């Protein structure tokens, strides 16, 4: 269902998705369990499939518990609820989470993959130039990298969010809305992007290149960052090593992701071909500045309730990708 609601949409969406995930309740942390929130599409999903993390921690008497989430915002809320210790998301969810006072820290990031995001329109659409979006209904998931894509595309072409009608949609609803004409354009990321390109009569109106970086950020709860930073270093070392496993099992990775997401193998292969995500990297001063700039802009637009200092939520840890 298309949602035109106001500022409370993100909070309501988080609460609803948390109830679906079954992870809304507060659970006491345990020293012998490491709880990781993951999305079906992402490096943590591959790390789960490889089994390497579970093996590495088993020798230390620690069991890995994997908890699936449909998007970044509810995953970060689970950190707040004490339901998970680690997780990942794109660029926007952590900004909203920090503004909401959720106690977490950035611990690493992936390389950029800007072509893994785009704004799509129907193939027969008369939308051709950036200015053609003015007054149109543009669908995206609020508080995600798709939101960032729309914001930056508009502003780099001398327009603002006030020049369009935002329609807040989950990814599964966005494609249907575009196909049926309920929206005029749809901002989305892979693998949903690749699936729509291969399975719908759509075209790319604007690629993410030049507008978004398409990174995954990896997070930890403040609790585990303060009480067991060495465990985070061990996790990041395994995250760094998953690149070798993924490179050696490329076809297996594609088949696994196809099964996980229900998206065709061909679309998964297309999405994987434009992703560079299997290297864990430190969160540099340059990345902090980029996140800060985005946070400041969201605050100016009254989408964030308060100003935040991104640097306060960054933890620099030694690991194989960050000696």
Picking from 100, 48, 47, the residue whose alpha carbon sits closest to that of residue 73 is: 100
Structure tokens at 238: 């395994």
Residue-wise pLDDT for 71-84, tens only, equals 788 898 899 899 99
Which strand ranges, in their side-by-side order, compose the sheet holding 202-207?
A: 165-168, 137-140, 185-189, 117-122, 202-207
What DSSP line would sit under 101-136, residue for residue? T--EEEEEEPPP-GGGEEEEEETT----SGGGGTT-
C-alpha 299/C-alpha 96 separation (Å) is 10
SS3 64: strand
Domain 115-207 class, CATH top level? alpha beta
Pairing of strands 33-38, 63-68: parallel
Picking from 303, 306, 1, the residue whose alpha carbon sits closest to that of residue 143 is: 303
Structure tokens at 279: 């290297």
- Residue showing tokens 């193998």: 265
C-alpha 229/C-alpha 244 separation (Å) is 25
CB atoms within 10 A of CB 15: 12
Start and end residues for every CATH 3.40.190.10 domain found in the chain: 9-113+214-313, 115-207
Q: What is the pLDDT of residue 12?
A: 39
Backbone angles phi, psi at 106, to 5 degrees: -70, 135
Pairing of strands 33-38, 165-168: unpaired
Packing angle between helix 250-261 and helix 43-50, nearest 10 degrees?
A: 110
C-alpha 133/C-alpha 185 separation (Å) is 8
Packing angle between helix 192-199 and helix 265-273, nearest 10 degrees?
A: 120
Q: What is the pLDDT of residue 25?
A: 41
Q: Across-strand partners of 138? A: 166, 185
Q: Which residue stretches of the chain have pLDDT < 70?
A: 1-30, 321-323
Query: Residue 315: exposed, middle, or buried by beta-carbon count in 10 A (0-12, 13-18, 19+)?
Result: middle
CATH fold for domain 9-113+214-313: D-Maltodextrin-Binding Protein; domain 2 (3.40.190)
Residue-wise pLDDT for 24-44, tens only, equals 444 444 578 999 999 888 889
Contact residues for 249 (Cβ-Cβ < 8 A; gap 6+): 50
As a dihedral over the C-alpha atoms of residue 132, residue 134, residue 136, residue 141, rounded to 10 degrees, the angle is 110
As a dihedral over the C-alpha atoms of residue 267, residue 40, residue 220, residue 222, rounded to 10 degrees, the angle is 130
Kindly report whether the global pTM for this prediction surpasses the value 0.85: no
Residue-wise pLDDT for 121-165, tens only, equals 999 999 999 999 999 999 999 888 899 999 999 999 999 999 999
């Amino acid at each position: 269902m298309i949602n035109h609601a106001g500022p409370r949409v993100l909070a309501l969406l988080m609460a609803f998705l948390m109830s679906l995930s079954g992870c809304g309740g507060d659970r006491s942390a345990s020293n012998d369990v490491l709880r990781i929130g993951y999305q079906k599409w992402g490096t943590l999903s591959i790390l789960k499939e490889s089994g390497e993390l579970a093996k590495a921690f088993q020798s230390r008497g620690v069991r890995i518990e994997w908890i699936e989430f449909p998007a970044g915002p509810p995953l970060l809320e689970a950190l707040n609820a004490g339901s998970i210790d680690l997780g990942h998301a794109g660029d926007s969810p952590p900004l909203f989470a920090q503004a909401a006072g959720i106690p977490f820290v950035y611990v690493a990031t992936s390389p950029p993959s800007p072509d893994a995001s785009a704004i799509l329109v129907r193939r027969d659409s008369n939308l051709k130039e950036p200015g053609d979006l003015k007054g149109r209904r543009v669908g995206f998931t609020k508080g995600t990298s798709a939101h960032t894509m729309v914001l930056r595309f508009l502003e780099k072409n001398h327009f603002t969010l006030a020049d369009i009608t935002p329609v807040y949609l989950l990814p599964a609803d966005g494609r249907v809305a575009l196909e049926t004409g309920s929206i005029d354009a749809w901002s989305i990321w892979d693998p949903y992007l690749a699936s729509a390109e291969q399975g719908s009569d759509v075209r790319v109106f604007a690629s993410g290149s030049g507008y978004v970086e398409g990174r995954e950020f990896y997070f930890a709860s403040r609790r585990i960052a303060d009480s067991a930073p060495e465990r985070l270093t061990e996790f990041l070392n395994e995250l760094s090593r998953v690149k070798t496993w993924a490179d050696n099992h490329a076809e297996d990775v594609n088949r696994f992701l196809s099964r996980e997401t229900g998206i065709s193998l061909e679309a998964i292969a297309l999405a994987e071909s434009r992703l560079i995500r299997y290297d864990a990297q430190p969160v540099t001063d340059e990345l902090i500045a980029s996140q800060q700039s985005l946070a400041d802009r969201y605050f100016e637009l009254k989408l964030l309730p308060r100003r935040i200092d991104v640097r306060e939520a960054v933890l620099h840890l030694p690991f194989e990708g960050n000696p």
